[in-house]
Amino acid sequence: MSVHVSADGAVGTLTLDAPPLNLLSDALRAALLDALADFRARRLRAVILTGRGRAFCAGADLRDEAKLTAEQVQAFLDADEAVFGALAEFPGATIAAVHGYAYGGGFELALACDIRVAGRAARFAGVGVKLGLTVSTARLARLAGEGVALDLLLTGRAVDADEALALGLVSAVADDVQAEARRVADVVASRAPLSVQANKVGLRHCARLPLAEAVTYERGEWARLQRTRDHREAVKAFFAKRAPEFTGE
């Protein structure tokens, strides 16, 4: 089995299990897409993506990539982006729990998630330049800035967990990365689902807009959410000094 799928309450977990390095394959991509579609249909509020063994994901299998014909390259790239896009566009939070190597396409897999947490042994690298290729130029610069992206992508060097935290690639480093990812997932799952989704979409949409247009968009979303049942529930819960019970309505 290339991906182990489980759900506990409102949190789903996808565990890559394709020894020894959890390389991206057609089977692994298909399993991830199927699981994410199922989680979306079940309205799960957060998804943890992690891996077994010594790697989170070490990217594509170079033996497969080397066999691609010119006609097959676009389909190969589209297959990867379908997975990255499904993670980025999932309505709830996607959290990468990186315990080991996240190299090449595996680095991009982590970047496609909303939140990244790292174990002490985590390593991140955009290795395209070492292979005569390019990878992560779009997402990495948006996350960590052009300077950091140029440093990492022009050298292909790996960064450890502490440097990844300092560079803003991850939000936390933990001895028990699975427990930390679950803690974050539970927090997000306790928030208003429509608000979580609006913040995800809004942040990315507004990043492409001039400031005035971004503010106008944000105000429109605030007004839309202000009319939701979850907002009314949050106000009631605040004054009643209790935890809100959000339904996503």
pLDDT band (50, 70, 90) for residue 24: very high
Cα angle vertex 30, ends 28, 36, to 5°? 100
**Residue closest to 173 by CA, chosen among 94, 107, 104, 116:** 116
Q: How large is the average pLDDT for residues 199-226?
A: 95
For residue 30 the two structure tokens come to 């298909």
For residue 62, pLDDT beyond 90 = no
Residue given tokens 């330049």 in the structure block: 129
Structure tokens belonging to residue 226: 């202000």
Query: In 81-161, at which residue ranges do the beta strands (DSSP E only) sit?
Result: 93-98, 101-103, 115-119, 123-125, 159-160
pLDDT of residue 111: 98
Tokens of 90: 């999932």
> What is the predicted pLDDT for the residue at 186?
98
Reported as a pLDDT band with limits 50, 70 and 90, residue 67 is confident
The whole-angstrom separation of Cα 232 and Cα 160 is 44
* AA letter at 110: A
Domain ranges of the chain: 2-190, 193-240
Neighbouring C-beta atoms of residue 162, cutoff 10 Å: 13
Amino acid 65: pLDDT:
84
Pairwise CA distance, residues 105 & 178, whole Å: 21
Query: Is a pLDDT exceeding 90 seen at residue 63?
Result: no
Q: What residues pair up with 173 in beta bridges, in sequence order?
A: 118
Q: Determine if the peptide bond prior to 210 is cis (ω within 30°).
A: no
In this predicted structure, what is the pLDDT of residue 71? 87
| Rounded average pLDDT over 28-47 | 97
pLDDT above 70 covers what percent of the chain?
100
Q: What is the pLDDT of residue 170?
A: 98
Summary mean pLDDT of the chain: 96
pLDDT score of 104: 94
- Let me know if domain 2-190 sits in CATH 3.90.79.10: no
The pLDDT of residue 113: 98
Tens of pLDDT, residues 93-149? 999 999 999 999 999 999 999 999 999 999 999 999 999 999 899 999 999 999 999
User: Strands 172-174 and 115-119, how do they pair?
Assistant: parallel
